[in-house]
A = this chain, B = another copy of it.
Amino acid sequence: MKIITVERKVLKKNDEVAAENRETFRRQGIFAINLLSSPGAGKTTLLEKTIAALAGALRLAVVEGDVQTDLDAQRISRQGVPVVQIVTHGACHLEAPLVQDAMARLAMDSIDLLIIENVGNLVCPASFDLGEHVKVIVASTPEGDDKPIKYPKMFRVCDVCVLNKIDLLPHVDFDTERFKRFALEINPRITFFETSARTGEGVEEWVEWLRRRSAPAR
């Protein structure tokens, strides 16, 4: 799979282009998610497991956002899924025009599910609508159970929280109930999944949710 790197100066206003992206998703029957997290929470590993589990069931494509390197796109492309890398060259979040450029490099009429992996950052990406249907925060147990109240905006804008690295629970100071209570205080409608992308535990529930949400859009 060829990796195309998109780099463009942001010209139009973010929200205007996000609305155009949303309209493209609607027209093409694509379910689009924006995957957000701290650096190293396991977004790419979760994505690898998700792609493997969805093989044959949904036509998937990925947009990878990174400050630097196309390492993540290389990992995804090894699974035979169309992927476009956005390198932000220092910028701390994706914006809708960059995603629109990436979309122009994908066969949008043969995609059921588009996953946009944002830059690893719990602050800035929360403020930028990319046109996605759902924002998903991937939190990981080693980061600590206080993250929802320390980074409230991120948890407020996300509809789904994947709590990842549950295989490390015996080895870290993390109280899952406390974490969920904090997240629900910030955002009472947030839906949780608990996974270990590394071992595969819990990934099936998350994948089933993606399958169910992607289906009506087709």
Q: Which residues of A are in contact with B by a Cβ distance under 8 Å?
A: 38-41, 66-69, 71, 90-92, 119-124, 140, 142-144, 146-147, 149-153, 165, 167-168, 171-173, 198
CA of A214 to CA of B122, assembled, Å: 33
Contacts of A146 in B (CB 8 A): 69, 71
CB distance from A54 to the nearest CB of B (A): 23
Beyond A119-B123, A123-B121, is A67–B173 a contact (Cβ under 8 Å)?
no
Closest chain-B Cβ to A36's Cβ sits at a distance in Å of: 12
In the complex, the count of this chain's copies comes to 2
Q: Bound complex: CA of A119 vs CA of B92, how far in Å?
A: 14
Among all A-B residue pairs, the 9 with the closest Cβ atoms = A40-B143, A92-B123, A142-B142, A38-B39, A40-B144, A39-B122, A38-B38, A92-B124, A68-B152
- 21 A-B residue contacts at CB 8 Å? A38-B38, A38-B39, A38-B143, A40-B144, A66-B150, A67-B151, A67-B153, A69-B150, A71-B146, A71-B150, A90-B123, A90-B153, A92-B124, A119-B123, A120-B122, A120-B150, A121-B124, A142-B142, A142-B165, A168-B171, A171-B171
List 13 additional A-B contacts (Cβ < 8 Å) besides A39-B122, A90-B153, A121-B122. A38-B40, A39-B147, A66-B150, A67-B153, A68-B149, A69-B150, A92-B121, A120-B122, A120-B150, A121-B124, A124-B124, A140-B142, A171-B171
Smallest CB–CB gap between A65 and chain B, Å?
Answer: 11
Q: Would you give the shortest CB distance from A210 to chain B, in whole angstroms? A: 24
A123 with B171: CB separation less than 8 A: no
